[in-house]
Structure 1
């Protein structure tokens, strides 16, 4: 039996369930677990008060965010599309992606969308329902690399650097270039955005983003050295947790950390984040269980989620890292809380 070391609420709860958490508690440096739990209390007028608790949270400890980058992508894409309102454009307007150079590719149709027309709204839906990677890449291209990062930093999300698409044949340099984009209504072009090129060189926010003992290089050979993530995306768990707050509880954040969204944007985000794949018809995912992309509450079980529970979340999983940022509500028992972990 190992000695208990109490540092806060979360680890005291873990110590009370040692059979489940013994490995992590014995060797926290090996597993590099970080947890943020936010307790939510409401007053007589239903106004929320949030109090957060932390376990091993460290913005300087690198983890690859994987699909977690889709959360800020959704927020920034909606904010940018709202800036085009005067041109008659909204999140449902058809969006055509063009190509200006290799390895960029075009998008004319989306067979999973109503009418076959791609849009910001539909890309967001696919990102949250099944973590669609191409949907993220298309929003990354619409947002642009410079806008993506500098708008996050301006809002106070300083511990973030988004410099790559997810998968594809792009490298650090070609990820600086983002495709031309058009918004159309029938045969009429409402807005045309030229290819964007981010000429700025950003310093990496983590001093030594190397992980592991060995890795497989691009030629398929084993290299007995840690993998260098310095040309990969980065977001701290705290920033991700706060971005989730910006969706669910924007009123508790300073105005500077909120996004310029309309009421129906918040509703769209919350609907897409909390939906189970079986509830979608466009696109349809009849074979995916409720637990798909709902790690913290449902794990890898195949049973349907309880009808009273909704999970508003985003997950990421790659390179041995697993992340989930969730707002979980039991409407019957009137219990709600936020939980983010890597």
Structure 2
């Protein structure tokens, strides 16, 4: 694709004070003569870079954020790819708490599928190897309407998740889930009918020069109007709520218990080999 997107997401924890930190850190970094940076900065329109650098200062019991932005815009579209798996993982954990009989270790499977899983395992697979099937299972558990509304209710907007990832069905209806309640009984969820997503009206919503559909090459840019929309500002706001929940009002927080939050934070930094994956095929940065 001629107009490819370079998406750089910077969230840097800084221990020094605001007075010690160079306030033009981002500007200085982007002015570097390093060939990798200079190539992008000399072709801004081609790469469509968006960067948010956040300085974090701790004063007594307070945590203060100072954002430095470069071309961050909710109106300029980029395809969020697998970053949408983060909110799906968090919201699935939170939904577990709505039922006393469920935990993140409760086994379940999707009707018509043979894979048994747990939310804990799905979260591990999402962060270790960016597993599409694990994400899609949680989509069936939540439904798109619940995902989008829950994020908006917590002040994380704009956002619109509208499709599963990888090889999947475009069916708007979720599949029933069979849950093992104990050794002798199971429960089954009802399908959720999601609304047809409204076309996005954003800048740069069409990408590339051509694309394949049903093995046929279509010689025109691909439209992302019906695709997932999860801009940098929304991603940033979700991450802050996970790392620093105490900085937000209760209605803006994700209500995870200690076991759930510890599991999530651990999964976020665990490399594939520590999850049991073959270290040659699934290298550390896989």
| TM-score, structure 1 as length reference | 0.71
* CA distance in structure 2 between the aligned counterparts of 1:70 and 1:214, rounded to whole angstroms: 28
Alignment of 1:22 onto 2:38 = yes
* Matched residue, 2:179: 183
In structure 2, the CA distance between the partners of 1:208 and 1:22, relative to structure 1 (3 Å rule), is closer
In structure 2, the CA distance between the partners of 1:186 and 1:96, relative to structure 1 (3 Å rule), is farther
In structure 2, the CA distance between the partners of 1:168 and 1:129, relative to structure 1 (3 Å rule), is same
In structure 2, the CA distance between the partners of 1:254 and 1:26, relative to structure 1 (3 Å rule), is farther
Alignment of 1:285 onto 2:281 = no
Corresponding residue pairs, total? 262
- Flag structure 2 segments of 5+ consecutive residues without an equivalent: 1-22
In structure 2, the CA distance between the partners of 1:107 and 1:76, relative to structure 1 (3 Å rule), is farther
* Matched residue, 1:310: none
CA contact (8 A) 2:143 2:174 kept: yes
CA contact (8 A) 1:8 1:54 kept: no
* CA distance in structure 2 between the aligned counterparts of 1:19 and 1:124, rounded to whole angstroms: 37
Q: Deviations along 1:175-228, whole A, 9 cap, x unmatched?
A: x11110122122312x32111112x34434433553334222313333332111
Alignment of 1:132 onto 2:131 = yes
* Matched residue, 1:214: 209
In structure 2, the CA distance between the partners of 1:167 and 1:280, relative to structure 1 (3 Å rule), is closer
Structure with greater proportional strand content? 1
CA contact (8 A) 1:181 1:193 kept: yes
* CA distance in structure 2 between the aligned counterparts of 1:262 and 1:73, rounded to whole angstroms: 17
CA contact (8 A) 2:200 2:226 kept: no
* Matched residue, 1:298: none
| TM-score, structure 2 as length reference | 0.84
Alignment of 1:70 onto 2:85 = yes
* CA distance in structure 1 between the aligned counterparts of 2:217 and 2:197, rounded to whole angstroms: 29
* Matched residue, 2:14: none
Q: Deviations along 1:162-184, whole A, 9 cap, x unmatched?
A: 1111022423xx1x111101221
- Flag structure 1 segments of 5+ consecutive residues without an equivalent: 1-6, 100-105, 110-117, 293-342
* Matched residue, 1:57: 72
* CA distance in structure 2 between the aligned counterparts of 1:227 and 1:142, rounded to whole angstroms: 30
* CA distance in structure 1 between the aligned counterparts of 2:27 and 2:50, rounded to whole angstroms: 11
CA contact (8 A) 1:8 1:55 kept: no
